[in-house]
Structure 1
Amino acid sequence: MAYASALLRDPARTYREIDLAGRTAAADGPALVQLLYEELTQALRVAAWAADNRQFATRSERVTRATAILFALEANLDFDRGGDVSRTLARFYAGCRRQVVDASIGTDGEPFRAVASELEEIAAAWRMARAA
């Protein structure tokens, strides 16, 4: 009963979670990384909006999601095969996490948007590499 109540309270969120679960179940490794980048930049953009609009619960939720995705991206780097690229990405992800956590205590959305923009550049390069 509590589960049904939660579904009815926020049907849009429930739909997004079901949609994400479906997309991740069907995704292979490269497609999953692309999906993580999309979810990460979306979380950061919502955190920016929430910070600007003093919606602290939403900001906190999106910051938690963004940092979890950054940890997942870093944890799945293959340092044996990826060499310098993996090490560079690990440093980049750690730096992004630090920026997100630092921004989470303020009310300015710009730091979240800046990190999202940087990640979107990498996501675009990832898409081009997958398409080639």
Structure 2
Amino acid sequence: MNDSYDGYRAVDLEVRVCAASPYELVLVMFDGLLDELSRARGHIEASHYELKGQSLEKCMNILTALNSTLDYEEGGELVQDLSRLYDYCLHRLVDVSVSLSVTGIDEVVHLLGQIRDGWEGVNASHH
């Protein structure tokens, strides 16, 4: 049962991505990333190392995609800060992949949660 649920979630995410404005797109990506991070955390705790690897790889792909959505022309200082933060999160996840440290994941979740909240605030001020 669980497998089909995951498949459904992936499709749902893709459908939402197709329908999303750039702002909503970033939020969808954040939600997908935070979901996947908690899944990776579960895999580490359950010692499912192969699944952990796949899960962390997905997280890194989403982070890389988030990084590529940054607008260096318009964004100025904020974009530089975000880019550095995404890079830091990527490095932490590479580290987690080896060290299997759930505190590393928690740190990334905490940082990304703050960015996501900020992003929602930005979105609110644009409407």
Same fold (TM over 0.5): yes
Q: Does 1:115 align with 2:111?
A: no
What is the correspondence of 1:20-31 to structure 2 with a 5 Å cutoff?
Answer: 20-31=13-24
Q: Determine the structure 2 residue equivalent to 1:126.
A: 119
Alpha-carbon distance, 1:107 to partner:
2.9
Greater mean deviation of Cα atoms: 25-34 or 98-107: 98-107
Q: Secondary structure at the match of 1:104?
A: helix
Q: Determine the structure 1 residue equivalent to 2:37.
A: 44
Q: Does 1:92 align with 2:85?
A: yes
Identify which of structures 1 and 2 has the higher relative contact order when contacts are C-alpha pairs closer than 8 Å and 6+ apart. Answer: 1
| Bigger Rg over Cα | 1
Q: What whole-Å deviation, never above 9, does each CA across 1:38-76 have from its counterpart, x for those lacking one?
A: 111111111111112111122111100110011111112
> Whole-Å Cα distance in 2 between the matches of residues 107 and 93 of structure 1?
20
User: How many pairs align?
Assistant: 125
Gap regions ≥5 residues in structure 2: none
> Whole-Å Cα distance in 2 between the matches of residues 37 and 100 of structure 1?
15
Q: Determine the structure 2 residue equivalent to 1:71.
A: 64
Q: Does 1:14 align with 2:7?
A: yes
- Which amino acid is the alignment partner of residue 124 of structure 1? D
Q: Is the 8 A contact 1:30 1:130 kept in 2?
A: yes
**Normalization by structure 2: what TM-score?**
0.91
RMSD: 1.5
**Normalization by structure 1: what TM-score?**
0.88
Q: Determine the structure 2 residue equivalent to 1:57.
A: 50
> Whole-Å Cα distance in 1 between the matches of residues 37 and 3 of structure 2?
20
Q: Secondary structure at the match of 2:99?
A: coil
Q: Determine the structure 2 residue equivalent to 1:5.
A: none
- Which amino acid is the alignment partner of residue 115 of structure 1? V
Runs of 4+ in 1 over 6 A off after TM superposition: none
Alpha-carbon distance, 1:106 to partner:
2.4
